[in-house]
Structure 1
Amino acid sequence: MASGKTTKTTTRPVTSSSALASESTNAAVAAADNTQSQRKEAPTGDTLTRRRVSTRSIDNTQDDGYVNEQLTRVLYALDAFKKGDVSVRLTKQNDDIFADIAEAYNSMVEMIGGVGGEVSRISKVAGVEGNLKARASGENASGFWRDMINNINGLMDSIAVPVLEVGKVLKNISKGNLDETFQIPVSGDFKVMAETINKTIDNLNLFAGEVTRVAQEVGTEGKLGGQASVPNVGAFGRS
């Protein structure tokens, strides 16, 4: 019987059988729907083609105890994965089909763990540190997981671009530049924000124009009875 104890690695290995995670939003929904609609059954029987043939199959000399041990380890790893634990790794004990399973499982959780790490990183960098130009990297992701990274970056774009544009417009206002308005096409709450900013700029331009007019009338033409008239401006502008 070929069996053995698992070795310690930097990640948590599986122990023996006894020790038994606007547009971009629409894209994310579409990707999820597309994934569900394309679900496939795993091949069985004659339709199953092994990646590697007889040399990777279970040796006839391996008893049921070894097979049960390996299947229990696989089940333990899958159960941990179901609960969101991607730290478990399957170790290879023999050169057989279970080694293939271990390699496939370990590669899967490495990729998913990397995606989860990128999501956490971008949440911290953008949400906590305020770096709205940061984006998640999907370099090592593929398929659905790469789509998820792309959707996260799309969500970041849909939020960051309007916010950065607001910052640019307000910076221009602080410098006395009232010529540039919010020009990026947006919708929903961002549209309300854009319209409010542009209306504010319009009112500031009207107010500045009236101040200039009254100053000219009083200072140049000597008309002391002139008053500024700015419609739709609140008490502060009229005081």
Structure 2
Amino acid sequence: MNKAPLITKMLPRKNSLRNGGELDTKQLLAALMAFRRGDFSARLPEDWTGVAGKIADTFNDVIRTNQRMTQELGRIVRVVGKEGRITQRAALSDVSESWGDAIGCINVLIEDLLRPTSEMARVIGAVAKGNLSETMASEIEGQPLKGEFLRTAKTVN
């Protein structure tokens, strides 16, 4: 069933909204296209009123949240990946649902990379002190090592 006619009927005519405010569809489209390209400087005017104002506020909030997410991921790359501050975790205040899930996934990834790396460091440290009896576990917290982690464990052992 083609829903295009229904959607067309729902769109405001002549870019005006019944409960106040003018919606500049060209400006909205330009902002959406910029956002799609990853341009987080795209914003809609804050002085729009009525439904157009609510659309602008919502759009601008989505842009700000994406911008904050990008900045936080950049921070995590720097502090964990480059500076080696492995206790740092991603955090983004005032988000819920999928935004919070995404931050949680990043933190789980950090933990999943950290555990075998710490175990390797422990064993290599013991070997450096002459203790050749230490071995790297083939599972961590009940989860078997896989892929490169398993290969490294076999090499270390």
Letter paired with 2:32: L
Match of 2:111 among 147, 150, 157: 157
Does structure 2 conserve the Cα–Cα contact (< 8 Å) formed by 1:162 and 1:184?
Answer: no
Match of 2:37 among 69, 78, 83: 83
Could you tell me how far 1:74 is from its partner in structure 2? 1.5
Q: Tell me the TM-score normalised to structure 2 length.
A: 0.75
Match of 1:195 among 134, 154, 157: 154
SS in 2 for 1:89: coil
Over aligned residue pairs, what C-alpha RMSD do you find?
A: 2.6
Instruction: Return the index of the structure with the highest Cα Rg.
Output: 1
Q: State, as a whole percentage, how many aligned pairs show the same letter.
A: 31
Q: Tell me the TM-score normalised to structure 1 length.
A: 0.51
- Pair 1:144 & 2:103 matched: no
Count residues in correspondence: 140
SS in 2 for 1:88: coil
Could you tell me how far 1:84 is from its partner in structure 2? 0.6
CA distance in structure 2 between the partners assigned to 1:136 and 1:94 by the alignment:
34
Query: Which residue of 2 is the match for residue 111 of structure 1?
Result: 65
- Structure 1 portions without partners, runs of 5+: 1-40, 49-55, 199-239
Could you tell me how far 1:94 is from its partner in structure 2? 4.3
CA distance in structure 2 between the partners assigned to 1:175 and 1:143 by the alignment:
48
Does structure 1 conserve the Cα–Cα contact (< 8 Å) formed by 2:89 and 2:107?
Answer: yes
- Structure 2 portions without partners, runs of 5+: 11-16, 140-144
CA distance in structure 1 between the partners assigned to 2:149 and 2:92 by the alignment:
28
1:1-239 matches, within 5 Å, as: 57-59=18-20, 66-67=22-23, 70-183=24-137, 185=139, 186-198=145-157
Could you tell me how far 1:193 is from its partner in structure 2? 1.0
